[in-house]
């Protein structure tokens, strides 16, 4: 496989670099609340008006109609530009990377025409309602139900770990519509209006001090039948598409892949973490990945540039970042050739989790006792401590590390699949959650 960039791709890189130098905001992203939401949407609007939104989206819906490799180049150049904020914790992340791409694959022309331009134009924020208290790694065990009522569906149930729900107008939602079908069947994929009294959002305060995640409660919430994505009772395959894009955005083709390219950037880690990424619970990990320079600059910043043990660990980390970047190129080349995301996205997601762990360990070793401190006045603005506290979330989000290992074992290594005693049983007969 040829992993060299074409002349057209090199030209695209230079064009992106020039545009970012001229248009990247210099002001800091607000730390939370409505001002943060408005900042993110304003930046998305700037991208759209400048012709840099939806690089790999179809032109008829406002995208540039380019390939996935060029999309990755854009991520690399954005990180290289040393922005005062990141893309990975933006309010627009789910719409751009999960909801929008799923609609492109599975939505009707009417659904695409209505939603996609609004996502790219910075008009709305989206969230993803998948996980439940009793259905996380075993997502098909979900119990949120939707019942048909004429031209509408009535939704009742609870979702959890819903990123950005407190800022969202629209949500992608999977709910059980046929409890008499096996658990991977009888599920339908919806787009739900979050701005209705029947939807209650409760932010979850984390030990990092932020609240990215939420509980969401649906009590007779209504969804028009026209908001069904795909076929009724066949929503699991649509959800799999979303999960593939989610793992792709978290793994090799997203923050992990971009980090590898940003390693050679000029990223300044002397600013407090909250200034680099807008604060919040994602500040540490977002700053580490967007800049990539954490690995490159940390030893010198703490006066240990010549420490052979630390230098060895830094070099191992750098090598992993570069391997991840090349894996990303493989993923994008496969997509450009017409092949959908495969088990490579699980590999990328798993490696991203490992990189966060290594970044945390290197940072804590370099800083020593100072690594336990938080706040703008501490070394690196508390970035390392934020990274350490948030690391467990990365190993769970988008499918746990254990799930990714199962996928890789079965689909890459050819190991036997885990036995499924419940494959053909109606969901209503299974002892799961409140049905026990």
Catalytic residues, by residue number, are: 246
Secondary structure (DSSP) of 199-220: EEEEE---TTS----EEEEEEE
What pairs with residue 145 in β-bridges?
156, 176
CA-to-CA dists, residue 382 to 50, 124, 275, 394, angstroms: 35, 32, 11, 18
Pairing of strands 145-149, 214-224: unpaired
What pairs with residue 222 in β-bridges?
154
3-state secondary structure of 113: helix
Q: Which residues of 307-339 are buried (b: 16+ CB within 10 A; e: fewer)?
A: eeebeebbeebeebbeebbebbbbbbbbbeeee
Pairing of strands 126-129, 170-176: parallel
CA atoms within 13 A on the CB side of 330: 15
CA 274 to chain centre: 20
DSSP state of 92: T
Secondary structure (DSSP) of 33-67: HHHHHHHHHHHHHHHHHHT-SSTTS-GGGT-----
How far apart are the C-alpha atoms of 175 and 192, rounded to whole Å?
11
Q: 375 and 333 in contact (C-beta within 8 Å)?
A: no
Q: 392 and 380 in contact (C-beta within 8 Å)?
A: no
């Amino acid at each position: 496989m040829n992993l060299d960039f074409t002349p057209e791709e090199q030209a695209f890189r230079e064009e992106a670099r020039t545009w970012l130098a001229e248009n990247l905001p210099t002001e800091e992203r607000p730390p939370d609340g409505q001002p943060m939401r408005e900042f993110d949407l304003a930046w998305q609007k700037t991208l759209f008006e400048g012709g840099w939104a939806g690089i790999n989206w179809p032109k008829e819906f406002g995208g540039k109609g380019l390939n996935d490799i060029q999309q990755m180049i854009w991520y690399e150049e954005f990180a290289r530009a040393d922005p005062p904020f990141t893309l990975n914790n933006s309010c627009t992340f789910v719409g751009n990377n999960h909801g929008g791409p799923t609609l492109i694959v599975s939505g009707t022309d009417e659904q695409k025409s209505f939603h996609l331009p609004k996502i790219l134009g910075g008009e709305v924020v989206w969230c993803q309602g998948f996980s439940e208290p009793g259905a996380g790694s075993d997502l098909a065990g979900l119990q949120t139900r939707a019942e048909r009522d004429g031209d509408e569906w009535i939704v009742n149930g609870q979702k959890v770990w819903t990123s950005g729900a407190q800022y969202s107008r629209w949500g992608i939602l999977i709910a059980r519509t046929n409890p008499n079908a096996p658990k991977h069947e009888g599920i339908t994929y919806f787009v739900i209006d979050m701005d209705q009294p029947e939807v209650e959002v409760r932010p979850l305060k984390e030990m990092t001090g932020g609240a990215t995640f939420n509980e969401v409660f649906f009590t007779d919430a209504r969804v028009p039948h026209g908001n069904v994505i795909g076929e009724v009772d066949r929503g699991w395959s649509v959800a799999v598409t979303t999960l593939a894009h989610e793992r792709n955005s978290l793994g090799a083709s997203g923050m992990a892949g971009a980090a590898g390219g940003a390693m050679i950037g000029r990223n300044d880690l002397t600013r407090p973490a909250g200034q680099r990424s807008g604060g919040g619970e994602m500040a540490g990990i977002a700053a580490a990945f967007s800049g990539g320079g954490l690995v490159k600059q940390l030893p010198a910043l703490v006066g240990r540039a010549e420490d052979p043990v630390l230098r060895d660990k830094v070099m191992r980390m750098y090598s992993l970042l570069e391997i991840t970047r090349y894996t990303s190129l493989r993923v994008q080349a496969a997509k450009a050739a017409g092949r959908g995301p495969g088990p490579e996205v699980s590999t990328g997601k798993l490696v991203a989790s490992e990189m966060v762990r290594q970044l945390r360990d290197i940072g804590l070793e370099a800083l020593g006792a100072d690594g336990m401190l938080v706040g703008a006045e501490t070394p690196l603005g508390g970035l390392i401590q934020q990274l350490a506290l948030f690391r467990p979330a990365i190993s769970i989000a988008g499918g746990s590390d254990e799930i990714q290992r199962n996928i890789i074992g079965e689909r890459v290594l050819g190991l036997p699949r885990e036995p499924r005693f419940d494959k053909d049983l109606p969901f209503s007969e299974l002892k799961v959650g409140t049905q026990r």
